[in-house]
Amino acid sequence: MTSQLLNRTKIIADHLEIFRDKRILLIDDKVDDRKQVINYLKPFHADIDEASNGLEAIEMVKQHHYDVLLMNLNMPFLNGYEATEAIRDGKAGILSIDIPIIGHTVDPLYIARAKTEKVGMQGLITKPVQEVDLIKSIGSILNSKYFNSTLAFSGLTVMLVDDTKVIRLPLRWLLEKEMEKKLLSC
C-alpha cells in the first residue's frame, strides 16, 4: 500500500464516528463538483442532500434538519454569501440560524475568507475540493462543541448586544470556542 492510501484510510477511520448519523446539505450549481464531494464522503454513510443554488438550499433547510451545510460561494439565483445571510436572518426558520456552514470556492482564500466570516460561515475550503481537506473541515465542525452552547456557557452569564446577527453569531461562536479551550485545559 502506498503512504497516500494509508493516510486516506487512517483519516476515514479517524472520522467514521464523527460522521455517524449526520445529515449534510451540499449546495453547488455544478453537478460534477457535487458528485466529487459525494464520492469523497461515501465511506461515512452520512445522509447527503443536494441543492443546486442558494434558493433551493433555503427551502431544504426550512424542511429538514442538517448538521452542516457545504455551500458553494458562486452560484446563480442566490450565491453562497446571500444564502448564508438569509439563513442567519432566519429566512430558513429560527431553528436554523446557527447551523454550521462551510463555504467552498474557486476564489483565492485571501479574498473569500473575510467575506465568509462576515456572513457567519464557520469554515472555508478551496475548489477543486481535496478529499483530506473536506473530511477534516467537516469533521472539525461536527466534532466541535459549537453544537452544545449550553455546556460551553454552563454557569456563566454572557450578553452580546449588537444590532446585526451577522456580528452576533460569529462573536457567539468565538466565545464558545474560547470557553471550550478553557474547559479542555482544566
Q: Where are the domains of the chain?
A: 3-143, 149-185
Q: Specify the pTM.
A: 0.76
Query: Per residue of the chain (186 residues), what is the pLDDT tens digit?
Result: 577 777 888 999 999 999 999 999 999 999 999 999 999 999 999 999 999 999 999 999 999 999 999 999 999 989 999 999 999 999 999 888 989 999 999 998 888 998 999 999 999 999 999 999 999 999 999 987 444 444 444 455 666 676 677 777 777 777 777 666 666 655
The CATH number of the structural domain formed by 3-143 is: 3.40.50.2300
Residue 122's nearest CA partner among 156, 87, 90, 155 is: 87
Q: Residue 126: what are its φ and ψ, rounded to 5°?
A: -90, 160
Give me the half-sphere count of Cα atoms (radius 13 Å) on the Cβ side of residue 25. 28
Alpha helices (runs of H) in 20-158, residue ranges in sequence order: 31-41, 54-63, 80-88, 109-119, 131-143, 149-152
